[in-house]
Amino acid sequence: MKVFSLSRWTVGLSLALATVATAEPIAVRVAEPPGHRALVLRTLDGKLLAQGDVTITVGDGRATSHVVFQFTDGSVHDETAVFSQDDVFRLLSYRLMQKGPAFRSTLLMTLDTQTGRAVARHSEGSGAEKVEEEMLAPSSDLANGIMVPMLKNLRPEIVSAAASWVAATPKPRQVKLAISNAGAAPSPSAASNRVIHYVVKAEIGGLEGLLAPLAGKQPPDTHVWIAEGAAPAFVKSEGPLYVGGPVWRIEVP
């Protein structure tokens, strides 16, 4: 498996020694430079689902991450995140479009963190489009579309961190994410000494959160592997692409 070492992109201590936790927005240690890289999407047993790519552009004090997956069945996942990366990572706007048989419904979700306006347009089959709009109070640690850059900038000694996410459920809803450092392993690439395994868990609050595991509705954890080094690199991730979806693997071809 190759390591995503983009000298032009985006996606310490082992857990036994890590003793630091952070709940602050993740500080920028290595800013995302402009670039382009191919990705592949597979099932956990290796079946190819989609070819994809990520493109990073930088200018006017902000960066834009654009991820597209073209599925073998004609489905499309198209995700754009605009963010600042001066001192800490801050999401400015987000757009997600998913359509085709690979997804439960056709979805277009947009989020403007300046106004807090989140809109989700969704439809199933030939049914009429439904529009769900929410005015949120976005947290400063929103990770939609920029989870990989944020994890690449976590210091290896950080044992846990927190972030937020706006999900279409189908109504836009902000949830907290608990990030834990699950330890490091030797890297399969000579470009890095170790790969750190992060586990990202959605924390559903209130009574619904207490009942979710019993009802089988607790979202599965997302796992992300990041190679250490002067330019931390995305290796792979495993998790759902949409709420209620199966766990798929994203990796560098």
Residue 27 above 50 pLDDT?
yes
How many angstroms separate the CA atoms of 140 and 180, rounded?
A: 19
pLDDT confidence tier of residue 133, bands split at 50, 70 and 90: very high
In a domain, 152, yes or no: yes
Tokens for 12? 């310490």
Would residue 7 count as lying in a domain?
no
pLDDT of residue 170: 84
**pLDDT at residue 190, rounded to an integer:** 60
Q: Show Cβ contacts of residue 88 under 8 Å, excluding neighbours closer than 6 positions.
A: 24, 25, 26, 27, 28, 140
Higher pLDDT, 2 or 31: 31
Q: Print the domain residue range for 68.
A: 20-251
Please say if the pLDDT value at position 58 is more than 90. yes
Contacts of 45 by beta carbon, 8 Å cutoff, 6+ apart: none
Please determine, for residue 210, whether its predicted confidence score (pLDDT) is greater than 70: no
Residues contacting residue 67 through CB under 8 Å, at least 6 positions apart: 39, 52, 53, 54, 77, 78, 79, 80, 145
Average pLDDT, integer, range 128-135: 94
In a domain, 1, yes or no: no
- pLDDT (0 to 100) of residue 212: 41
Using one digit for the tens of pLDDT, what is the confidence trace for 170-182?
A: 889 898 999 999 9
Residue 238 confidence (pLDDT): 97
Tell which wins on pLDDT, 172 or 2: 172
Query: Looking at the 3D structure of the chain, how many domains does it have?
Result: 1
What pLDDT, on the 0 to 100 scale, is given for residue 23?
A: 54
- Domain-embedded: residue 202: yes
Comparing 53-62, 80-89, 121-130, 172-181, the range with the smallest average pLDDT is: 121-130
pLDDT tens by residue, 182-194? 999 887 766 667 9
Question: Across the chain, what does the average pLDDT equal?
Answer: 86
| 6 within a domain of the structure (yes/no) | no
Residue 22's Cα: distance from chain center in Å? 19
Assigned domain for 5 exists: no
Instruction: Find where tokens 């850059």 sit.
Output: 149
**Long-range contacts at 68-74 (CB < 8 A, ≥ 24 apart):** 69/39, 69/41, 71/41, 71/100, 71/102, 72/48, 73/100, 73/101, 73/102, 74/100, 74/101
Band of residue 124 on the pLDDT scale cut at 50, 70, 90 = confident
Q: How many CB atoms lie within 10 A of CB 60?
A: 6
CB 11 within 8 A of CB 233: no
Residue 13 lies in a domain: no
Global pTM value: 0.86
Q: Does any domain span residue 145?
A: yes
